[in-house]
Each structure stands twice: as C-alpha cells, then as structure tokens.
Structure 1
Amino acid sequence: MDARPTNITLNKAEAYLEITWSDDKVCQYPLSHLREACPCVECRGGHQFMGMEHAPDNLLMLQPARNYNMSELHPIGNYALQPVWDDGHDTGIYTWEYLRHLCP
C-alpha cells in the first residue's frame, strides 16, 4: 500500500476518527465500529485469527457491543496508530494498511 495519512483528526464530540490519505481519499471511521474491529490478539480470539485475511470486509456491518469513545490516540512509528479506549483497552495497533482496508 502506497497511501499514507496526511491528516488524522479524532473528533470525540461526534465519535469518529477521520483520516485524509496521500491519494486524497478521506475516511471517517465511527469509533464504536473501529473498537469492534480491534486487531489485537485478545479481541481476535487468538493468534490463529491474526492478519489481514481475518480483517472485517465492511466496518459498518459490525455490530458494536456498546458506544465506545477513544480517550487517547498514539502514533506508532511511521506505520500505525494505537488508541486508548474508554473501556481501558489499549493493545490494538491499527496499521495504515489495516485502516485503509477498513475505510467505510
């Protein structure tokens, strides 16, 4: 994947993450849906369910267990974001490839 984020905005009031990509595509990710798509081993149910082949095909088709908000958002190197969720969960690392795949 060649596209990289050029702007990342966390809108806590309206509960979405917006990413503008280097190819000018703009993606708005509802926070609750993004939380349900957490790529960590705990949320995926084990190492055998890790990787892009197990990524949701349509973020908006996920059924969030509840409304989630993001309390913090940390960049991880030049390749990912690590959110801290209001339920205390903070082990998911969302790579650029994964976020672009999830773009609604």
Structure 2
Amino acid sequence: MPSTDQDRAPAQIRVSPDRRTLTVVHGDGALDRFPAELLRVLSPSAEVQGHSPEQRVTVGGKRDVAIRDVQPVGRYAIRIVFDDGHDTGLYTWRYLSTLGVEQDARWSAYLNELSLKGLRRDPN
C-alpha cells in the first residue's frame, strides 16, 4: 500500500506540563490537541477495541487520567503510557491523523455511549 500524508511521522509530539493534553504538530504546521481522557477511552488497544466491533468496551471513569509517558514504536507509532497503568495501545500516525479529523464526532459518540450504558466520566 502506498504511503500517504496520514502515514507520515508528525514533526513534533508534546505532552502538556499538566500531562493532560497531547499535541501533535504535523509536517505542514497544522496541529491537533488531544485530551488524555479521549486518547485513553479511544485507545486502539485490543483491551478497549476488542477483536471485533461487538467486543469493543466503553471505558468510563477516566476524566482525571494523565499521560505518564510517550514512547516511540518504530517509525510508525507511539505507545502512550497512562497513569492508570494502561499502556497497550499503539497510536499509529494514521490513527492519530484520523482521530484529529474525527475527534468531535468520536467524542460525542463516546459521551452518548456512556449515557446509554449508565457510565460516568468521573472515577468512582
């Protein structure tokens, strides 16, 4: 499969001083800001996404989650280590690019799911 702009490594990845926001600066200077909570609840890990759409888990209680570490994975992704111990998601450049475009819609869908399942953003 040919490489696209979505597959290119960002020019820079920064974590905010409070560890609650990841900023991705793209090669063209555009940037995406992702709250840690969004990245955690939409983790591309099998633990969250499952192995099929039916297995996907709606994760609640992560309003206060923070980013402990960001680790490079080859030339195609990062692993985000969260302060709740979750660290199995590989955030590819393509996934981060897609998430940047779809962030508002995915966040809305997540909030809807929480409501439908009787879950909350706040930890218990």
TM-score range, shorter chain: 0.7 to 0.9
Equivalent in the alignment of 2:91: 94
The residue that corresponds to 1:24 in the other structure is 29
**1:33: how far off?**
0.8
- TM-score normalised by structure 1 residue count: 0.78
Give the gaps of 5 or more residues in structure 1. 55-61
Q: Normalized per residue, which structure has more helix?
A: 2
Q: Distance in 1 between matches of 2:81 and 2:19?
A: 17
Q: Choose 1 or 2 for highest CA Rg.
A: 2
Q: Contact conserved, 1:11 with 1:17, CA < 8 A, in 2?
A: yes
Q: 1:72 aligns with which of 69, 72, 75?
A: 69
- 1:5 is the counterpart of 2:10: yes
> Following TM superposition, by how much is the alpha carbon of 1:63 offset from its aligned partner in structure 2, in angstroms?
8.3
After the TM superposition, which segments of 4 or more aligned residues of structure 1 sit over 3 Å from their partners?
A: none
The amino acid of 2:39's aligned partner reads: L
Q: Deviations over 1:46-74 (max 9, x none)?
A: 2123xxxx9xxxxxxx9852221011110
Q: Give yes or no for contact 1:69–1:85 (8 Å, CA) kept in 2.
A: yes
The gaps in structure 2 that reach 5 residues or longer are 104-124
Please report how far the alpha carbon of residue 42 of structure 1 lies from its aligned counterpart in structure 2 after TM superposition: 1.0
Is 1:33–1:64's contact at 8 Å kept on the other side of the alignment? no
Q: In 1, Cα distance between the equivalents of 2:59 and 2:28? A: 30
Aligned length: 92
Q: Which amino acid aligns with 1:73?
A: V
Percent identity reads 33
Letter in 1 for 2:16: N
- Over the aligned positions, Cα root-mean-square deviation in angstroms equals 2.1
Cα 1:64–1:19 shift into 2, 3 Å:
farther
Separation of aligned partners in 1, 2:12 and 2:47: 29
Distance in 1, matches of 2:66 and 2:24, equals 17
**What is the distance in 1 between the residues matched to 2:89 and 2:31?**
22
TM-score w.r.t. structure 2 length?
0.66
